[in-house]
Amino acid sequence: MSVNRDVTVLQEARVSFCGNTAVLLDAEGPLTLATQERIWRLSDTARQWEGVVDTQPGMNSLLVVVDPKTADLEALAARLGETWPAVPSGRIEGRLLEVGVVYGGEGGQDLPEVAAFHKCTPADVAKLHAAPEYTIFAPGVTAGFGYLFGMDPRLFTPRRQVPVMRALGGGVSIAGIQSNLGKPYVEGSAKAAPTGWYMIGRAPDVPSPFDFDKTPPNLVSLGDRIRFRVDRVEA
């Protein structure tokens, strides 16, 4: 597996335009919980600014979206850049959600490959994976449990160069330094999708992270934590 593990680390925060509808703040320094907590705070603050229609944290970054018909993007970019250094730090303790996981077996079929890569047993991988608490750092590509931060760096597993088809619905997967929890399968949607991630387990009773029959519809918010419980390790 060939992979470049270097990630751009900025010395200073940078504000750039995303076309004429948004401004992106890339924070300085490495990915840390302390910085990410400030990103969440800035997200909540900026959403209240006049002319701002939406905000979305990324990993160490924040997108601020405007209406292009009325926006003054230069002023917004300046305001974002000036506000960022003054955003206070401090813990944001979210709720804790425990999720039972069956490691390996059907839906976790990549566990042996991951174990072989790390020269340990599948049970060792499960134990390492379930040890820490994971924090929901940023929204994912669509409504779900988001990007999780907190995986033990010893489980760093380079993403597959060639994607493979894997089942959707409650899957627990890892790639790079990240771990992901899939939402339950939605009737009528695609049953599988191509992915470069390794499926190491499944969470049979995972709750829906987004339910339109509930108010609010989102089960989890940024800053909430997820703990994986080893229910079983299958060969």
Task: List contacts with another protein (CB under 8 A).
Answer: 4-8, 14, 16-22, 24, 26, 31, 43, 53-63, 65, 68-69, 73-74, 138-144, 146-147, 176, 186, 188-189, 210, 212, 217-218, 221-222
CB closer to another protein out of 99 and 148: 148
Tell the smallest beta-carbon distance from residue 208 to another protein (Å): 11
CB closer to another protein out of 100 and 176: 176
Tell the smallest beta-carbon distance from residue 126 to another protein (Å): 25
Tell the smallest beta-carbon distance from residue 231 to another protein (Å): 27
CB closer to another protein out of 109 and 178: 178
The beta-strand segments (E) located in 169-212 are 171-175, 178-181, 192-195, 198-202
Q: Indicate the helix (H) or strand (E) that contains 22.
A: strand 22-26
Nearest residue to 84 (alpha-carbon basis) of 17, 13, 11, 138: 13
Tell the smallest beta-carbon distance from residue 161 to another protein (Å): 9
CA dist., res. 150 & res. 137, Å (int):
9
Task: Find out whether 147 and 136 touch, Cβ atoms under 8 Å.
Answer: yes
Tell me the residue type at 64: V
The beta-strand segments (E) located in 27-170 are 52-58, 61-66, 96-103, 133-138, 147-149, 164-167
CB closer to another protein out of 164 and 230: 164
Tell the smallest beta-carbon distance from residue 147 to another protein (Å): 6
CB closer to another protein out of 69 and 119: 69
Tell me the residue type at 66: V
